[in-house]
A and B are shown apart, each in its own frame.
Chain A
Amino acid sequence: MSHFLNTTLVLNAIFFFSLATTLAGALLAVLSARLIRSVCGLAICCLGLSGLYYFLHSPFLALMEILIYIGAVCVTIVFAVMLVEPDEPANDEKRTATLEWGGTTLAVVAGLFWALSRLVLVSTWTNPDAALKQSGSIRAIGLHLLTTYSMAFELISLALLVAIVGALAIARAGRTKP
């Protein structure tokens, strides 16, 4: 049987596309001056992340990432951007101060990344026995959520309820009556 395209090549291409999407989205989210563009960057980053989750054998979480992050979190932030001022203010600090603080932050962050990547590459990660390894399918997730983690699941729903009611209370408090 002859393959029409090399499967590994295609998979690698899709994987690198996901990585590049994640990275580009994150950079756009942090570096762009207009807030609405950074929200779009966050959405693009989450799209790439959902691709990575798919490669980590979890289509369920890939869909949840799109649903929750792009569908809920990004849309909520867009509403907030519409309600408050849309742009970052012009940078009024001195040029030397910008260079100094930006350089310091960049150095610290680069050092942190160097340390973390060294930690990742030096340590040995052990894989469990293939015989003991369980599937992690959607069915298994559902069973866990309804048995072992049912308490945590209910607590999360309670936390979400309290957060929403609290958000309404805080956002309403200073409002004058029409």
Chain B
Amino acid sequence: MTQPLYDDLHIYLLMAALLLVIGIYGLVRRRTLIGMLISGELIFSAASLNLMAFSRFTAQDPAVGQIFVLFIMGLAAAEVAIALSVMLAVYRNYRSVTTKDLAELQG
């Protein structure tokens, strides 16, 4: 009897890889800081899914992976708070969060 599809490590890893590449594509192609932040969150999720899949299938103690992913979520929340406040500060100075307008160092 073959194992059911949802008990297969590969499909989770492929899904995580797909999330990662979608996030990278968005990070490159988005033209506002908020859009880039959202793409970054997708990359975070990909890493979390990877860790969860490995801790479920190949680790001896699956609790460790879950705790690690919990920590990643906490750090992602902190990162979002910081990034959004930086964006508000940028918007106050430039009246824009478009990446093209933030070119003060370009000379």
Residues of A at under 8 Å CB distance from B?
Answer: 8, 11-12, 15, 19, 22-23, 26-27, 29-30, 35, 38-39, 41-42, 45-46, 49, 52-53, 55-58, 60-61, 64-65, 68-69, 72-73, 76-77, 79-81, 83-85, 88-89, 91, 101-102, 105-106, 109-110, 112-113, 116-117, 120-121, 125-128, 132-137, 140-141, 144-145, 149, 152, 156, 159-160, 162-164, 166-168, 170-171, 173-175
Report whether B63 and A56 are in contact in the complex, using a CB–CB cutoff of 8 Å: no
Report whether A156 and B75 are in contact in the complex, using a CB–CB cutoff of 8 Å: yes
Q: Which residue of A lies closest to B33 (CB)?
A: A84
- B residues 22-60 near A (Cβ < 8 Å) are 22-26, 28-32, 34-35, 37-39, 41-42, 45, 48-49, 52-53, 55-60
**What separation, in Å, do the CA atoms of A116 and B16 have in the docked complex?**
10
Report whether A112 and B42 are in contact in the complex, using a CB–CB cutoff of 8 Å: no
Q: Which of A55, A60, A61, A69 contacts B6 (CB 8 A)?
A: A55
Residues of B at under 8 Å CB distance from A?
Answer: 4-6, 9-15, 17-26, 28-32, 34-35, 37-39, 41-42, 45, 48-49, 52-53, 55-67, 69-71, 73-82, 84-89, 91-93, 96-98, 100
Q: Which residue of A lies closest to B32 (CB)?
A: A88
CB distance from A24 to the nearest CB of B (A): 11
- Whether A168 touches B85, Cβ cut-off 8 Å, given contacts A64-B73, A68-B73, A85-B97, is yes
Report whether B82 and A173 are in contact in the complex, using a CB–CB cutoff of 8 Å: no
Q: How many A-B residue pairs have CB under 8 A?
A: 224
CB-CB under 8 A from A145, the residues of chain B are 67
CB-CB under 8 A from B14, the residues of chain A are 117, 120
CB-CB under 8 A from B75, the residues of chain A are 156, 159
CB-CB under 8 A from B19, the residues of chain A are 22, 26, 45
Q: Which residue of B lies closest to A176 (CB)?
A: B92
| B22, B82, B98, most chain A CB atoms within 10 A | B22
- Chosen A-B contacts, 15 in total, with CB atoms closer than 8 Å, are A29-B42, A55-B6, A73-B76, A84-B87, A85-B96, A88-B30, A89-B100, A102-B29, A109-B25, A128-B60, A136-B62, A136-B63, A136-B66, A152-B71, A168-B85
